[in-house]
Amino acid sequence: MKWTEVKITTTSEAVEAISNIMIESGASGVSIEDALDVENFKSDAFGELLDKSTFKHVKEGAIIRTYFPETMFLPEILPEMKERILKLPEYGLNIGENRLEISEVAESDWSSAWKKYYHPVRISRFLTIVPNWEKYEPKNQDECVIKLDPGMAFGTGTHPTTRLTLQALETSLCGGETVLDVGTGSGVLSIASKSFGAKEVFAYDLDEVAVNAAKENMDLNPIAQDVHVSANDLLKGISTQADVIVANILADIILRLIADAHRLLKEQGTFIVSGIIKEKKDEVVTAMMEAGFVVDQLLQQGDWFAIILKKAEIEE
């Protein structure tokens, strides 16, 4: 087994909380180098034996190193982990520099090693996602097969947030819709939308790596050749009116998207949001209702929620 090291430079006071977050995210081991250890050693009964100048140790703050097995696809783990760390100051913890670095600890190429463990994913009776390097025969005539190489973009189809969004799209699309896919990542939701009959799809992402990965994935799937992929911050500056807007992004970013989604959705339009952890669900629902949406369906897998919303009709 080969491993990827994720190293975080932080403060002594945040060590325990950050280590917990890393373990909960799937890290298999933690090593901590903390400047306070040296201070504490100096002040114990035998502390005078230590000559700080003779050994290498972090002089200020702390460094946490954790290790993820190559079976885990980091682009789907890091965003939530980073967001949870950024929330720690709300609980009074100083996270200091909060610098995150990634490196290989074995000679393997971590950006592609996980491919060995990524196999076709059956999302529903009608949809299967197949890694581009695998052979796959559909099990029935109605089955849509999406070919995918996520590269370093989020969206393999295995993450609960993506699965829930795909199921919500399958429920919501009847054919002929205009769809806006916000935070497209690998482009998986856009390709699925076309497979479920959408007429026109516009895909946006802030990250150039994702924009390029999405374009390459459109090329792998003839049905999605005409999807318009571009770099954009959420739906800022967009004027295309849509029947469906879909966004699988963390809750705090969804909150920033609501006003534009309401502006761009046609009457009776559908807004699908995913990437919402249990603790954030009520806040998102309240903000949606205040903006003029009504909840149509809630979908849940483990601690993750997706919500299908309708633009409320304006009463005469």
185 part of the interface to ligand SAM, by CB under 6 A: yes
Smallest separation (angstroms) from ligand SAM to the CB of 82: 11
Other CB atoms within 10 A of residue 276 CB: 26
Question: Does residue 44 have a known ligand-binding role?
Answer: no
253 part of the interface to ligand SAM, by CB under 6 A: yes
Smallest separation (angstroms) from ligand SAM to the CB of 281: 16
249 part of the interface to ligand SAM, by CB under 6 A: yes
Strand segments, DSSP code E, in the chain are: 3-10, 30-34, 62-69, 99-104, 121-124, 127-131, 144-148, 178-182, 200-205, 228-231, 242-248, 265-277, 293-301, 304-311
Q: Give the residue from 287, 283, 278 showing the smallest Cα distance to 305.
A: 278
275 part of the interface to ligand SAM, by CB under 6 A: yes
Other CB atoms within 10 A of residue 243 CB: 20
Other CB atoms within 10 A of residue 301 CB: 14
Q: Which of these segments, 40-48, 137-145, 204-212, 222-230, binds ligand SAM (CB under 6 A)?
A: 204-212
User: Edge-to-edge strands of the sheet including 144-148?
Assistant: 121-124, 127-131, 144-148
233 part of the interface to ligand SAM, by CB under 6 A: yes
Smallest separation (angstroms) from ligand SAM to the CB of 41: 43
83 part of the interface to ligand SAM, by CB under 6 A: no
- Which phi and psi (to 5°) does residue 281 adopt? -60, -50
Residues in CB range of 220: below 8 A, 6 or more apart: 132, 147, 148, 149
248 part of the interface to ligand SAM, by CB under 6 A: yes
- In one-letter notation, the amino acid at residue 290 is E
Smaller CB separation from ligand SAM, 183 or 269: 183
Question: Does residue 162 have a known ligand-binding role?
Answer: yes
Using CB under 6 A, count the residues that bind ligand SAM: 22
Smallest separation (angstroms) from ligand SAM to the CB of 27: 19
The gap between the terminal CA atoms of the chain, to the nearest Å, is 64
Residue of 128, 165, 217, 270 that binds ligand SAM (CB under 6 A): 165
Please name the residue that has the structure tokens 């996520």: 150
Smallest separation (angstroms) from ligand SAM to the CB of 210: 4
- In one-letter notation, the amino acid at residue 278 is K
152 part of the interface to ligand SAM, by CB under 6 A: no
Q: Which of these segments, 87-95, 182-190, 215-223, 298-306, binds ligand SAM (CB under 6 A)?
A: 182-190
CB 178 within 8 A of CB 242: yes
Q: Provide the binding-site residues for ligand SAM, judged by CB under 6 A.
A: 153-155, 161-162, 165, 183-185, 188-189, 204-207, 210, 233-234, 248-249, 253, 275
Q: Name the binding residues.
A: 162, 183, 205, 248
Q: Name the binding residues for S-adenosyl-L-methionine.
A: 162, 183, 205, 248
